[in-house]
Chains A and B, each alone.
Chain A
Amino acid sequence: MSAAQETLERQDQLQGIGCSRKRKEDPRFIQGRGLYVDDVKLPGMLFGALVRSPFAHARVVSINKEKALALPGVHAVVTAEDLKPLGLHWMPTLAGDTQAVLADEKVCFQQQEVAMVVADDRYIAADGAELVEVEYEALPALVDPHKAMDADAPIIREDLVGKDEAGQGKRTHDNHIFTWDVGDKDGTHRAFDNAEVTVREEILNPRVHPSPLETCGCVASFDKVKGDLTVYITSQAPHIVRTVVTLLSGIPESKVRIISPDIGGGFGNKVGIYPGYVAAIVASIVLGRPVKWIENRIDNLSTTAFARDYHGVGELAADKDGRIKALRFYALADHGAFNAHAQPTKWPAGLFSICTGSYDIPVAYARVDGVYTNKAPGGVAYRCSFRVTEAVYLIERMIDVLAQKLDIDKAEIRRRNFIKAEQFPYQSALGWEYDSGNYLPALEKVLEAVDYEGLRREQAEKRARGELMGIGICTFTEIVGAGPSKACDVLGVGMFDSCEIRVHPTGSAIARMGTITQGQGHQTTYAQIIASELGLSSDDIQIEEGDTDTAPYGLGTYGSRSTPVGGAATAMAARSIRAKAQKIAAHLLEVSPEDIEWDVDRFQVKGNPEAAKTMKEVAWAAYNNVPEGMEMGLESVNYYDPPNFTYPFGIYVCVVDIDRHTGETTIRRFYALDDCGTRINPMIIDGQIHGGLNEAFAVAMGQLISFDEDGNLQGNTLMDYFIPTFVETPHWETDYTVTPSPHHPLGAKGVAESPHVGGIPCFSNAIVDAFAHKGVTHLDMPHTAYKLWKTIRQLSLDT
């Protein structure tokens, strides 16, 4: 075997970075041995059930607990009155606002939590909840965000009346939360005034919900003897939960243990702290027994973090050749009754300012106004990368609008506007430094793969026959990996992340991170990183996350930040171990460390590769034979504060055929090319792409959380809320290019949200493209068969 072959074989054996190795977490899941929160059963455990408001806006006149308390098996009925002496009836949100834990004198959204009944089992708790008598006095509800700031609008947050700010800057009305803007306002207005061409479109991102298959819940267990609190919780950010619980309860952080075990999907739905958790924790502390609270699907769809509800106006100014000269975006954000927006503190509109997209736009201005309405709180969720879904939807729709106005091909207009490879790192007009990108070759690769020219020819033929065929293109740039601590913090804690690695004497290792997987395969991918860095097989590297007693402090997993931040911390911790190991190897080989070089899994003497020590041999020596003055052991912890975000990108093409008699859409083809820099496990990446695209398909084609004019939810069960099954879900084709991140230790960027961010506008663009020859420039989502059928009827396309 040649040296090169031998090296490759040693590399393969590690199953490190780049290997599509099978997942290490699978064995327990396929045998039904996962440990999800609802699987936890502790001795003496009680069950909590919430009493919820049937009205969107009402005064709570009285709550009568008598009948509930009289039911055998009911131990407590907790209301705001019970929480007041503890100061816990309201709690701080991630967005600088406060939120009622249990309704305090009024309810502000339908299904808002009013009381928690704690009982011996879930059946008695449910019976008890039915027996709690609540008297309501209905108030007029505010449902349309456009009316939130009318002079005669009902006031929702009486607790904020007279306060001129609610955590995010100045307010101008009692239902106003914030106004945030970015960019060169005057320069942008001037550019529009002087432009050869302008386009404008009103663009809606309807309210939707991530609906992970596992709903939210917790088991709170307060040990009266030891005075410590353990909470098993469906959380994407266990350390933040621990810090908040300490701040709220006064129990020191050293006596609070938060455990996020296996989590059945997060998608941003499991970032915030929900009233159910707080009520369960209080009940456990008061009763001295574990209390389990698990919400049902209706609760989940009705009250936990929804996504979007951005009412936008997009404008582009361009020259006659379609070169964009300026961008002006405005959005009205419906945040619901409390601002529980999951965001880094200084970003009330998340990372919306990425809305200049993949294009070299010289000047831009964006502004977002947030308002309260009588709906559930939230806004940031559902694989959105902190409002990047809204931003990318706006720019990708608008460039198509511009293309149609100027009759320029939709791929060509993108070519003309792309940021060029030599412009990276690129300073966007709205303040971001894109680390790397190479859009043009990726676009050409995709267009060739789908035979774009052929598709356009086919479309022309079909149009001549009156058939509806659409081609959607989306060329997006994502921004993930929150984030540099000077810009990003959550409740004051900088958004670094961490990794601690310990190598055992016999050469296997354990590592713990501050992130927490919810299906992304961290137990495998982190092991692969360490395998490549330390020359140990990924089979021998145990990865643990989610237990705040053992994991180093981290900010959790959302916004595709695990690989960019956690993965970087992992690489840095591993390199620190390797640096120490090199010194030990030199000591064993009796040379100086400068004479040593690293080769896949061993240290060898430069010029004399026969003289080598494997990492395994060094690990043994680390515990009994280290150089003079060196401490024993082989471990490291790294807290990584990223210097920048990372900017993965993608080129997606979608082909649709719309039945002009029924409005039914067939997704004929979906081709997704993603560039996330260095690829750790291609199989896992593909899985993430498939999943994100499926969720994009759901959002674009059928999901909607809607309300009637009184704030009553319409369709908050799976009878109505569209979760695609095997049957509707189209086939996905994936492809890739690799443009590493220059600032990331591994060159890796993160990818899990890209398919959702890029997929939604791709589907939408395809649908609108199907009607473009009839002058349709935009259609709002969801693109249900009924809505498309109405458009077809309006345009008389079914005759």
Chain B
Amino acid sequence: MKVTLNKVFPLDGSVEDAWQILKDIEAVAGCMPGAEITDTIDEHNYKGNVKVKIGPMNVAFHGDITVQDIDAGERQIHLIAKGQDSKGSSSASMDLVARVRESESSASELAGDAGVTVNGKLANFGGRMMTQVSDQILGQFADNFSSKLATSTASGESDEPVAKPEVKQINGLKFAWDALVGWIKSFFSRKA
């Protein structure tokens, strides 16, 4: 089951500061809720974990992250992450292109295009929640990224060790609820 997402998030920091975080894979992984890097093989290959809870399903994925490309000129990274859950009953992969760039309405913006593919039990029982949950995950990611950006900007030194955020589980049910609330709210807040 494949879900394609194209999102743009406004950021409060400069494009250059944002890029410093984006090209730091460990920092980026740190912004993904429920995720952590467990192993650095080389600068293009990592191993990581992600914990997700969607309704009754608790899945812990472990897998590989490959940095396909880092383009400093475009300030763009291309990542491919592939994993299986510990029971082998679900698999997931994500092909993500993320870039930071100038924005008209904010200091800068983070733009992401992601193709998320899920196979197995998660696709079987969680299929219909995929888009909303992926949306929420990316939204959370952007929030974390923004916080990190604010912190690094405030501290003035982007390579100061940042406290590793606690690896929390993504709670899919909460996301689904938030997604529902967000969707209903959107009826009342359509921009002209």
Contact = CB atoms under 8 A, between A and B. Distances in A.
Nearest to A62: B88
Interface in A113-157: 130, 133-136, 138
B128 interface: yes
A298 to B, nearest CB: 9
Contact of B120 (A55, A130, A133): A55
Contact of A709 (B2, B87, B88, B121): B2
B181 to A, nearest CB: 22
Nearest to B120: A54
A712 B88 contact: no
Contacts of B124: 54, 110, 712-714, 716
Interface in A687-746: 708-710, 712-714, 716
Interface in A37-55: 54-55
B2 A714 contact: no
Nearest to B1: A708
A708 B123 contact: yes
Contacts of B87: 130, 133
B68 interface: no
A55 B119 contact: yes
A142 to B, nearest CB: 14
B128 A714 contact: yes
Given A54-B120, A54-B121, A716-B124, A710 B89 contact: no
B128 A136 contact: no
B115 interface: no
Given A54-B89, A134-B88, A138-B91, A710 B127 contact: no
A55 B121 CA distance: 8
Interface in A486-544: none
Q: Which of B1, B2, B119 has the most chain A CB within a 10 Å cutoff?
A: B119
B14 interface: no
Nearest to A56: B119
B1 A136 contact: no
Given A55-B120, A138-B119, A708-B1, A714 B127 contact: yes
B1 A712 contact: yes
Interface in B68-126: 87-91, 117, 119-121, 123-124
B130 to A, nearest CB: 9
Contacts of B88: 54, 133-136
Contacts of B1: 708-710, 712
User: In this complex, which of A54, A134, A138 has the most chain B Cβ atoms within 10 angstroms of its Cβ?
Assistant: A54
Nearest to A136: B88
A54 B128 CA distance: 17
Contacts of A54: 88-90, 120-121, 124
A138 B118 CA distance: 12
Contacts of A136: 88
Nearest to B123: A712
Given A54-B120, A55-B119, A138-B119, A712 B89 contact: no
Residue with the highest number of chain B CB atoms closer than 10 Å, among A134, A138, A710, A713 = A710
Interface in B1-53: 1-2
Contacts of A714: 124, 127-128
A304 B166 CA distance: 45
Interface residues of B, number: 15
Please indicate which of the listed interface residues A135, A708, A714 has the most CB atoms of chain B within 10 Å of its own CB. A708
Contacts of A708: 1, 123, 127
Interface centre among B88, B89, B123 (most CB of A within 10 A): B123
A138 B1 CA distance: 13
Contacts of B117: 710
A107 to B, nearest CB: 11
Given A54-B90, A133-B88, A135-B88, A710 B128 contact: no
B163 to A, nearest CB: 36
A713 B2 CA distance: 14
Contacts of B121: 54
Nearest to B90: A54
Nearest to A130: B87
Contacts of A138: 91, 119-120
Nearest to A57: B119
A138 to B, nearest CB: 6
A372 to B, nearest CB: 20
A209 to B, nearest CB: 15
B2 to A, nearest CB: 7
A50 to B, nearest CB: 14
A712 B127 contact: yes
Nearest to A55: B120
A186 B88 CA distance: 54
A712 B121 CA distance: 8
A130 B85 CA distance: 14
Nearest to A713: B124
A110 B90 CA distance: 12
Q: Quick one: which of B121, B123, B124 has the most chain A CB within 10 A? A: B124
B83 to A, nearest CB: 12
Interface in A92-113: 110
A300 to B, nearest CB: 15
Contacts of B127: 708, 712, 714
B56 to A, nearest CB: 11
A138 B121 CA distance: 13
Contacts of A713: 124
A712 B120 contact: yes
Interface in A426-477: none
A134 B85 CA distance: 12
Contacts of A135: 88
Nearest to B89: A54
A641 B88 CA distance: 53
A223 B42 CA distance: 62
Contacts of B89: 54
Contacts of B91: 55, 138
Contacts of A130: 87
A138 B90 CA distance: 10
A708 B121 CA distance: 12
B131 to A, nearest CB: 13
B188 to A, nearest CB: 22
Nearest to A134: B88
A110 B119 CA distance: 10
B36 to A, nearest CB: 24
Contacts of A134: 88
A134 B124 CA distance: 18
Among B117, B120, B121, B127, max chain A CB count under 10 A is at B120
Contacts of B123: 708, 710, 712
A495 B119 CA distance: 44
A126 to B, nearest CB: 14
B122 to A, nearest CB: 9
Contact of B119 (A133, A710, A716): A710
A709 B90 CA distance: 15
A422 to B, nearest CB: 57
A493 B187 CA distance: 65
A209 B88 CA distance: 28
A709 B115 CA distance: 14
Contacts of A710: 1, 117, 119, 123
Interface in A332-351: none
A710 B127 CA distance: 11
A135 B89 CA distance: 9
Interface of A: 54-55, 110, 130, 133-136, 138, 708-710, 712-714, 716
10 shortest A-B CB distances, which residue pairs?
A712-B123, A54-B120, A54-B89, A708-B1, A54-B121, A712-B124, A710-B119, A714-B127, A55-B120, A713-B124
26 contacts: A54-B88, A54-B89, A54-B120, A54-B124, A55-B91, A55-B119, A110-B120, A110-B124, A130-B87, A133-B87, A135-B88, A138-B91, A138-B119, A138-B120, A708-B1, A708-B123, A710-B1, A710-B117, A710-B119, A712-B119, A712-B120, A712-B123, A713-B124, A714-B127, A714-B128, A716-B124
Given A710-B1, A713-B124, 6 more contacts: A54-B90, A130-B87, A133-B88, A135-B88, A138-B91, A712-B124
